[in-house]
Chain A
Amino acid sequence: MSYLNVLKRLKAADEVSAAEVKAILSMDHPSEGQVYPHLRGYLLSRFLLDDSVQTDDLKKLVSSSISKSLEISEGDLDVTDLSDRCISAPSVETKLALAMLKFEEALGIKVDVMERVNCVTVADYAGVVSRYL
């Protein structure tokens, strides 16, 4: 993919994720079910994934995203996940945490750390987020 196409793709992703956040904020005390499709849309756009990705597992979504961008298999990701921060943090956890923190920041909420960490699926996270809205 050319550099220009990458920039276009990132811009489009920004627009989609902003729209998903806006949709959530337009609702008054949205339920888990109401948050879920927009949260999923937000994460897919942030991770540059399309609707063909079936999994609802948060870490698997991130793995798919990283392995796709590096053009390696998800299995290979386990053995090639090298820290770029000199502090031993794996890419999957780093990317997932950043996505969650940015999502919460956009919504103007701050989820309890343990609640965030215990989310395994998008649905889990939608449930937690809905309680803060």
Chain B
Amino acid sequence: MSIKPIKDIKLNVRPVSVVLYHDYVFEGPCRFGEGPQLTYDFDKTVNLMMCKAFEESLTDASVFDPKKINFLPHILIERNEEFIVKDEDMEKVGEDIENVDAFYIHVGMSRTYDFMIEMAERFNKPVILGPTMAIDTITTAAIAATGRKVYPVRTVQDVARHFDVLRVKKMMNNLAVLCAARLNSNRSFPSAPDGFLSTEDVTKRMGIRFRYTDPHEILDSTVPRPVQTAYDEETTNHTTPGRIGLNPNDEDMAVIEKITDEFIAGAAEVEMDRELIMRSVKAWYVVNKFMDHLDCNAFTIPCPDVCATRRLNKEKITFCLTHSLNQEIGIPSACEYDIPALVTQAILMGFSGKAPYMGNCEFGNIPQGDDPGAFWSAMFVHEASKNEDIPFLQKQQAEKGGDYVIVTHAVPNRKFKGFDAENAPYAIRSFARSGFGATIRYDFKQDIGQVVTLMRIDPLCRKFFIAKGEVIGGIGYKDTNCSEGVVVKIRDHADFFRKQSYFGNHVPLVYGDYVEELKALAEEFDMEVVEA
């Protein structure tokens, strides 16, 4: 398959050095020194030494991650004290401009402001000036006044942070969401009416594209069809009779069986039949064939809207595992047709390089004593949840104090610590109490003390809701269904709830602290930040 996960997107940066050598030896109000300091040789030596140091700094992987940034060849623009902007120099800077995402400008010794301003105006690409020793604000103010994007920096770490924001912005511009719509196309009324009111607005603001398919076509395509003949209704799908579908053939089935066996072999506990697990793996595989076919790299499908057709029950499939496995390979994938949650996932994976989690958000303060309350009693039915997890969380909360939120859904994954990290330990249990619908069960207790960043976008796509918290435990590892989640200590749950109420239910999260990065991205998209 040739799906292009957004996690692999790099920012193409063109480094440009603009330097000035005085042709004549003289001193004046903007040039001072004596002896060799006033020579062309001195100007050129110092400037080229600085350019060399600049070029070397681009290879410092501790600052500029080569997995994220692709530096194009460094361009050197040399001029004299006549301050002429030459077309031939602009042509060098603008060559192959459609593949340039940003300029990184090294300002050499002396005055080259006019060249940088014209560059920004002509090519309309974001400009980041390298840290210099003096008066950067001259250029930033002048470029900003033209309406072009410019980013002030004090250190190379600032430069890298701006690149990261631009890279995530580029990811959004390259995100194409496959929406398997049923009762509505921008949001699911039965489960995620807090979705975007208008996906057009999302496209306008973030550049994200949306493509649509029918859940019945996907479900029809999960039936293996070794041979399909065009125009033949017998060998093709019910919903697209006579048309060759994306159903698994024998070759695909061999791959699906292999993935299933590896998935089972890697699990610490398996409480499902292989056949039923394979149905979920097959659904994931077919969804990927659809994304490949439709040039998409993200996926969402409604739950209740499709559940109501009874086809999920008939096919013994839920899409929980599809979402988990997609997230592990850098494909945003949201439960319940929750497009804001999907876009949030994309942003979080962009900054973190880790697979995100998403779930229903409830306030997780458990009453002390034997009766944990109706929510906890109804949601978590396994003995281990009731007799071990809940008392453990009560103890944690009594010891640590403070406020908590619980994020629950059956879509954890094995790459919370990074796409390149080893798979985390996991179990396989069903979503349905009757045994179908494979889900990954992840014991969040192993991450106690770790920081997470939570986020959601509002239905109008105008605001980011951002919070930071600390994992204090998990629940539902032994359970089935959506009864699985992480409990996070937050600053103030009343404040969290009041603010979240204008954003919606599912709150995706990712391990690590990315609050500042998210704020910078919000500014980039001209969106407001609401922090809890």
Interface residues on B, range: 20 to 34
- Whether B407 is near chain A, meaning CB under 8 Å from some CB there, is no
Cα distance A85–B53 when bound, in Å? 20
Contacting residues of chain B (36-60) with chain A, CB-CB under 8 angstroms: 36-37, 39, 41-42, 44-46, 48-50, 52-53
- Whether A100 is near chain B, meaning CB under 8 Å from some CB there, is yes
Q: Which residue of B lies closest to A98 (CB)?
A: B36
- Whether A4 is near chain B, meaning CB under 8 Å from some CB there, is no
Contact B111 A100, beta carbon cutoff 8 Å: no
Contact A82 B49, beta carbon cutoff 8 Å: no
Contact B41 A88, beta carbon cutoff 8 Å: no
Contact A101 B49, beta carbon cutoff 8 Å: no
Cα distance A67–B518 when bound, in Å? 39
Contact B48 A117, beta carbon cutoff 8 Å: yes
Binds B, one of A19-27, A108-116, A125-133: A108-116
Contact B42 A86, beta carbon cutoff 8 Å: no
Cα distance A59–B308 when bound, in Å? 72
Chain A binding site: helix, strand, loop or mixed by DSSP? helix
Cα distance A96–B44 when bound, in Å? 13
With A94-B46, A96-B49, A117-B49 already in contact, the answer to whether A87 and B41 are too (CB < 8 A) is no
Count: A-B pairs, CB below 8 Å: 66
Cα distance A88–B106 when bound, in Å? 11
With A87-B109, A89-B109, A105-B36 already in contact, the answer to whether A117 and B45 are too (CB < 8 A) is yes
Cα distance A88–B44 when bound, in Å? 14
- Chain A residues with Cβ below 8 Å from B31 are 87
- Whether A83 is near chain B, meaning CB under 8 Å from some CB there, is yes
Contacting residues of chain A (76-100) with chain B, CB-CB under 8 angstroms: 81-83, 85-90, 93-94, 96-98, 100
Distance (Å) between the CB of A74 and the closest chain B CB? 15
- Chain A residues with Cβ below 8 Å from B421 are none
Partner of B41, one of A82, A85, A89, A110: A110
Cα distance A124–B313 when bound, in Å? 76
Partner of B133, one of A89, A101, A110, A116: A89
Contacting residues of chain B (114-138) with chain A, CB-CB under 8 angstroms: 132-135
Distance (Å) between the CB of A91 and the closest chain B CB? 9
Contacting residues of chain B (18-42) with chain A, CB-CB under 8 angstroms: 30-33, 35-37, 39, 41-42
- Chain A residues with Cβ below 8 Å from B133 are 81-83, 88-90
- Whether B356 is near chain A, meaning CB under 8 Å from some CB there, is no
- Chain B residues with Cβ below 8 Å from A11 are none
Contacting residues of chain B (53-107) with chain A, CB-CB under 8 angstroms: 53, 107
Distance (Å) between the CB of A116 and the closest chain B CB? 6
- Chain A residues with Cβ below 8 Å from B45 are 97, 100-101, 113, 116-117
- Whether B108 is near chain A, meaning CB under 8 Å from some CB there, is yes
- Known contacts A82-B133, A82-B134, A101-B36; 5 additional CB pairs below 8 A are A88-B107, A89-B109, A93-B49, A101-B41, A110-B41
Interface residues of B (CB under 8 A from A): 30-33, 35-37, 39, 41-42, 44-46, 48-50, 52-53, 107-111, 132-135
